[in-house]
């Protein structure tokens, strides 16, 4: 512990002796420690304090002596400014861990002579956060494993556990001539009014999975395994992680914390502002409100952001600010307030080693202020008043009452029809009846009373947003579909109530993007993704996205697949919202969608391999490699894209896998490829993920799902058609070791770069394109792929030039086009044509999924996303881009491509 270069040891000792009788008596009783402190040797004083219990008659005496010595050294170092607050509370908390562990071990050893296996002490509250007060109680939960608990042969496990618990409490809490160690409060245990002091692990798990209360979730934010069988305690906390950190944002937590706060304020009759009788812990703007402020935000956001799952209050505030959940200014102000209030709290407790948080009156208040180094009590109260006011203002804003005049008032019956008329809805009586029917029981998400109550409160906000939309009835229709599809919507209602600004985003989704609206109906919690500073940011690289998808704590294969689907769905939804809001270029959106798919493939394949190897082991010298083609190979997907892949494996055909159920290499890798496809495409509890298309594999649907590198190379050299080599021009190895990827890339390069007969190649390309045009005509005026001069024609042209001239091979079509332009094989205008049509493809999949002219609002959003003034301007730019491609086609093939017709822009 840092002794602090500017510490005032002399002044601290003087104040301690003059204003803290407990410290004065302790210093007189321990002259050696007092001498070290007087010499400014805080580190030495702490080291000597750690030995204060040596030679004691029993554990209880040893702990009491160490506690007194440690408390004295810490107090003087604190007063001197040598030991920062977090070091003081950390040292006290570490001693509490040791003391609790020693007491439990002694209780068990005196009866059985055994180690304390199977007996667990979970630290909660300030102890769990390593923020113990100077004179704090500790609030552990004691658990035991009946199978592992040491006991005498005839002892019942439950009776033995209660005996050990009682003895632990007695050893720590009894006041003797040596004082006490810690007062132990076990009332945080499950159902404390009826339950025994120590709870079986199984019963505790059942409680937290089924009947725990909201305050218990907040308590377990700071829980940790502190003593006894620590490994078993950590396993228990891991098992209840989903109880504490709920999967979705839980804005209902604000209501729970609000109600708890109101009960505390109602039961606390003291002053609401600093002065005699003010409670630094429970008073308005006090320590508890800072803790609740941090914990409420942690409960809401911690499931989605593991960086918020920290125990300390200051650490939590800093993490919340770093994640963009709260303002940095609020984090700093509340953090500094917390530190100062805790320091004053310590001064109160140092006077007589009492667990008090209340400012005294008169001379006693002056005494505390002077112990702290201030002139008098009035100066201390003045300082605290400013601190408390700032805390109270921020906390009151967080828990603002739902019935505040600024909040909407539920409307129903005739009042609903009148309100709809005021908002300008057509046929308000009919619409009011329809809205009223939502609560008649036919909509599952509105069957519970809490859901109906939350929805009625939310309805005025939604109606205002719907009325302001360009197509209010369409927004309302799609909202009804969300309600019908959602299995539960209470959390969505709470989310919109607490963040009304999100209603604007919701309406935008409902009006503009039916695909996103349908997805929201299946998973209402997707709206959570629009909260936080990352809501409008593109995801990182493949490794970063894969890191988010991996669930190291997933208990089984299915849970890992759920995690992949959940994160993928969140990212795709967020990218969809960014698309319709024109936050980013659709080209960047398409690349982000591709990175997301690659990460999902990587994590799903790893999970499938691990599961497969449990039964079948590994094939020595072999591995599965996935080759991406089409838009996945090119690195730009849309929201509607399938994943075009080929499964390949390295090694030969000899031998078999080394698992309990061995398989030959071909059978092994084909079965494994099936497993990877299922991991990506089979719906789980979290829904579907991707359609996987493997038809581009050698011999198509007639061939095996996975082939060896050698067989793939032989097929591509000897049997593959021209169209297969064209597809290979956009192929990219996506999984496998670096060596395997490099080997596969070399095979692909050797195939693509071989000489070809130009006339044969030209005939093949033209014939294939004509057949496609016959069998796959454009689906509408916004079909950027199939309209003549569109992306398919451009891709055919690029692949023809690549294969003819053995140049510009890059799976990224944009990079390939750049090279061909630089080599003079394509006009420069093709660059912009490709960019515009790719933007139209990516954005159009959401804003015009049927490829017809969309509604006015969606048309405006589509134009904005593509950088055009309006839809007509976009359509004319699209026609010009197609004409540029048609010109390049004629230049390369000597044959006209059907020019865009005037009607195409209608």
One DSSP character per residue, 791-843 reads HHHHHHHHHHHHHHHT----SSHHHHHHHHHHTTSS-THHHHHHHHHHHHHHH
- The count of other CB atoms within 10 Å of the CB of residue 144 is 29
377, pLDDT greater than 90 = yes
Nearest Cα residue to 814 out of 669, 671, 640, 631: 631
**Low-confidence winner among 164-168, 231-235, 520-524, 716-720 (lowest mean pLDDT):** 520-524
DSSP labels, 267-290:
H--S-SSSSTT-BTTTSTTSHHHH
Kindly provide the residue ranges of all beta strands, DSSP E only, lying in 630-713, ordered along the sequence: 643-649, 692-693, 706-708
Query: Residues with Cβ < 8 Å from 494, sequence gap 6 or more?
Result: 250, 251, 252, 254, 255, 454
**Do the Cβ atoms of 724 and 716 come closer than 8 Å?**
yes
**Do the Cβ atoms of 446 and 439 come closer than 8 Å?**
yes
What does the alpha-carbon distance between residue 700 and residue 707 come to, in Å, rounded to a whole number? 12
Q: What is the pLDDT of residues 240-261, one digit of tens each?
A: 887 888 765 566 666 666 666 6
The neighbouring-strand residues paired with 644 are 693
Give the residue, 502 or 126, on which the prediction is more confident: 126
Residue 51 buriedness (CB in 10 A; 0-12 / 13-18 / 19+): exposed
- Mean pLDDT to the nearest integer, 882-895: 95
Q: What is the pLDDT of residues 33-88, one digit of tens each?
A: 999 999 999 999 999 999 999 989 899 999 999 999 999 999 999 999 999 999 99
Looking at residue 502, what DSSP letter applies? H
Sheet with 224-228, side-by-side order of all strands = 198-200, 141-144, 119-123, 224-228
Torsions phi, psi for 622 (to 5 deg): -120, 150
Percent of the chain topping pLDDT 70: 93
**Do the Cβ atoms of 648 and 627 come closer than 8 Å?**
yes
- Mean pLDDT score of the chain: 89
Please list the alpha-helical segments (H only) found in 581-629.
Answer: 586-616
372, pLDDT greater than 80 = yes
Is the Cα torsion angle 840, 846, 852, 855 positive or negative in sign? negative
Query: Residues with Cβ < 8 Å from 149, sequence gap 6 or more?
Result: 117, 118, 119, 157, 160, 161
Give the residue, 455 or 631, on which the prediction is more confident: 631
- Mean pLDDT to the nearest integer, 5-28: 93
What does the alpha-carbon distance between residue 650 and residue 624 come to, in Å, rounded to a whole number? 7
Kindly provide the residue ranges of all beta strands, DSSP E only, lying in 35-151, ordered along the sequence: 119-123, 141-144
What does the alpha-carbon distance between residue 561 and residue 607 come to, in Å, rounded to a whole number? 8
- Mean pLDDT to the nearest integer, 268-294: 90
Query: Is 257 strand, coil or helix?
Result: helix
pLDDT at 254: 62
Torsions phi, psi for 647 (to 5 deg): -95, 130
Residue 41 buriedness (CB in 10 A; 0-12 / 13-18 / 19+): middle
- The count of other CB atoms within 10 Å of the CB of residue 159 is 12
pLDDT at 402: 39
- Length of the chain, please? 906
Residue 684 buriedness (CB in 10 A; 0-12 / 13-18 / 19+): middle
- Mean pLDDT to the nearest integer, 717-721: 94
Q: Write the CA distances from 712 to 435, 750, 781, integer angstroms.
A: 60, 12, 39
Confidence bin at 412 (pLDDT 50/70/90): low
Q: pTM of the full predicted structure? A: 0.68
What does the alpha-carbon distance between residue 308 and residue 319 come to, in Å, rounded to a whole number? 6
Q: What is the pLDDT of residues 580-611, one digit of tens each?
A: 989 999 999 999 999 999 999 999 999 999 99
What does the alpha-carbon distance between residue 769 and residue 757 come to, in Å, rounded to a whole number? 18
Q: What is the pLDDT of residues 616-636, one digit of tens each?
A: 999 999 999 999 999 999 999
The neighbouring-strand residues paired with 706 are 647
**Low-confidence winner among 10-14, 37-41, 509-513, 703-707 (lowest mean pLDDT):** 509-513
pLDDT at 561: 92
């Amino acid at each position: 512990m840092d002794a602090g270069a500017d510490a005032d040891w002399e002044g601290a000792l003087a104040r301690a002796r003059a204003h803290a009788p407990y410290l004065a008596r302790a210093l007189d009783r321990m002259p050696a420690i007092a001498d070290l402190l007087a010499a400014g040797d805080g580190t030495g004083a702490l080291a000597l304090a750690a030995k204060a219990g040596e030679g004691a008659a029993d554990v209880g005496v040893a702990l009491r002596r160490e506690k007194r010595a440690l408390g004295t050294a810490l107090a003087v170092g604190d007063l001197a400014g040598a030991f920062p607050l977090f070091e003081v509370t950390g040292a006290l908390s570490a001693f509490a861990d040791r003391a609790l562990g020693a007491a439990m071990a002694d209780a068990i050893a005196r009866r059985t002579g055994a180690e304390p296996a199977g007996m667990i002490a979970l630290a909660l509250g300030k102890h769990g956060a390593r923020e113990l007060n100077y004179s704090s109680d500790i609030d552990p939960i004691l658990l035991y494993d009946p199978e592992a608990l040491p006991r005498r042969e005839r002892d019942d496990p439950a009776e033995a556990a209660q005996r050990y618990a009682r003895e632990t409490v007695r050893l720590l809490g009894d006041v003797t001539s040596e004082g006490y160690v810690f007062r132990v409060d076990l009332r945080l245990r499950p159902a404390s009014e009826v339950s025994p002091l120590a709870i079986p692990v199984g019963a505790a798990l059942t409680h937290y999975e089924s009947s725990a209360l909201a305050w218990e979730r907040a308590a377990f934010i700071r829980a940790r395994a502190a003593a006894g069988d620590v490994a078993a305690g950590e396993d228990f906390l891991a098992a209840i992680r989903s109880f504490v950190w709920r999967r979705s944002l839980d804005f209902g937590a604000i209501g729970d914390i609000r109600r708890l706060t109101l009960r505390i304020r109602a039961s606390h009759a003291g002053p609401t502002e600093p002065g005699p009788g003010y409670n630094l812990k429970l008073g308005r703007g006090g320590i508890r409100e800072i803790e609740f402020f941090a914990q409420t935000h942690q409960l809401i956001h911690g499931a989605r952001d593991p960086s918020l799952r920290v125990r300390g209050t200051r650490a939590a505030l800093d993490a919340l600010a770093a994640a963009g959940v709260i303002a940095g200014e609020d984090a700093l102000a509340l953090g500094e307030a917390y530190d100062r209030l805790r320091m004053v709290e310590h001064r109160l407790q140092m006077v007589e080693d009492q667990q008090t948080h209340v400012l005294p009156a008169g001379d006693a208040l002056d005494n505390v202020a002077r112990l702290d180094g201030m002139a008098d009590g009035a100066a201390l109260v003045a300082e605290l008043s400013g601190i408390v006011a700032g805390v109270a203002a921020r906390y009151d804003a967080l828990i603002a009452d739902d019935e505040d005049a600024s909040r909407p008032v539920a409307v129903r019956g005739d009042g609903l029809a009148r309100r709809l008329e005021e908002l300008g809805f057509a046929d308000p009586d009919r619409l009011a009846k329809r809205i009223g029917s939502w609560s008649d029981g036919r909509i599952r998400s509105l069957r519970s009373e809490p859901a109906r109550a939350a929805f009625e409160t939310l309805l005025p906000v939604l109606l205002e947003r719907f009325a302001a939309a360009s197509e209010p009835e369409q927004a309302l229709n799609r909202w009804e579909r969300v309600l019908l599809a959602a299995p539960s919507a209470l959390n969505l209602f709470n989310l919109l109530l607490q963040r009304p600004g999100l209603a604007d985003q919701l309406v935008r989704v409902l009006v503009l993007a039916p695909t996103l609206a349908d997805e929201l109906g299946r998973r209402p919690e997707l709206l959570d993704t629009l909260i936080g500073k990352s809501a409008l940011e593109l995801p990182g690289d493949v490794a970063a996205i894969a890191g988010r998808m991996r669930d190291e704590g997933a208990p089984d294969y299915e849970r890992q697949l759920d995690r992949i689907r959940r994160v993928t769905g969140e990212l795709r939804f967020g990218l969809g919202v960014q698309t319709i809001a024109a936050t980013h270029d659709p080209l960047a959106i398409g690349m982000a969608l591709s990175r997301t798919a690659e990460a999902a493939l990587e994590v799903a394949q790893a999970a499938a391999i691990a599961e497969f190897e449990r039964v079948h082991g590994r094939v020595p010298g072999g591995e599965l490699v996935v080759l991406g083609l089409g838009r996945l190979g090119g690195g730009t997907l849309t929201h509607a894209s399938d994943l075009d892949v080929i499964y390949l494996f390295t090694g030969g055909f000899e031998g078999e896998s080394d698992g309990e159920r061995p398989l030959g290499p071909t059978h092994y890798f084909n079965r494994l490829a099936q497993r990877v496809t299922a991991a990506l495409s089979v719906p789980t509890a979290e829904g579907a993920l991707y359609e996987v298309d493997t038809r581009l594999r050698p011999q198509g649907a007639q061939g095996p799902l996975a082939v060896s590198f050698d067989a793939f190379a032989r097929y591509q050299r000897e049997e593959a058609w021209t169209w297969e080599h064209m597809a290979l021009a956009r192929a990219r190895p996506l999984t496998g070791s670096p060596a395997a990827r490099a080997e596969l890339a070399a095979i692909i390069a050797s195939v693509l770069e071989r000489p070809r007969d130009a006339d044969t190649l030209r005939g093949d390309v033209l014939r294939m394109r004509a057949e496609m045009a016959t069998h796959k005509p454009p689906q509408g005026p916004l079909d950027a792929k199939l309209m003549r001069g569109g992306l398919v024609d451009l891709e055919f042209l690029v692949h023809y030039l690549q294969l003819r001239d053995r140049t510009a091979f890059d799976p990224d079509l944009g990079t390939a086009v750049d090279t061909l332009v630089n080599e003079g094989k394509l006009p420069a205008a093709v660059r912009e044509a490709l960019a515009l049509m790719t933007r139209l493809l990516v954005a159009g999949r959401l804003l015009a999924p049927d490829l017809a002219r969309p509604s006015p609002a969606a048309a405006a959003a589509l134009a904005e996303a593509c950088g055009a003034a309006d839809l007509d301007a976009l359509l004319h730019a699209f026609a010009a881009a197609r004409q540029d491609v048609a010109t390049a086609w004629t230049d390369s093939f000597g044959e006209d491509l059907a020019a865009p017709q005037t009607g195409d822009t209608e």
